[in-house]
Amino acid sequence: MAKKSIHISMSVRGALLNWRDRDFEGVFKHDDGRPMTAREAKAALLEELSKGHEVIPSEGCDNFDVKKGCLGHTQADTAVGRLAPVCF
């Protein structure tokens, strides 16, 4: 039986409601690699909520549901431990 792994995902609503400004530092990046300010990150998260995305994936997750999160991978699909910060 193949082992199954699940990527971590982040609750968009949870971050917006519970994170302090300093909690956003170094977590989100623009497409060009520049870090987002807390204000920019909050705007990006609000945009995700407006699209109906309750959770956002970790980098490398290609089996993701925007309401439920990672749907899982067999061990052959991915290597655990390659998670990285989310980029917008």
Rule CB under 5 A: is residue 61 a binding residue for Zn ion? yes
Least Cβ distance, residue 60 to Zn ion (angstroms): 7
CA dihedral 18, 15, 50, 53 (to 10 degrees): -130
Least Cβ distance, residue 66 to Zn ion (angstroms): 13
Binder to Zn ion among 7, 24, 36, 48 (CB under 5 A)? 7
Alpha-carbon span 72 to 61, nearest angstrom: 9
Least Cβ distance, residue 45 to Zn ion (angstroms): 20
Rule CB under 5 A: is residue 70 a binding residue for Zn ion? yes
- DSSP annotation of 57: E
Rule CB under 5 A: is residue 55 a binding residue for Zn ion? no
The shares of helix, strand and coil residues in the chain, as percent rounded to the nearest 5, are: 25, 20, 55
Contact set with Zn ion (CB under 5 A)? 7, 61, 70
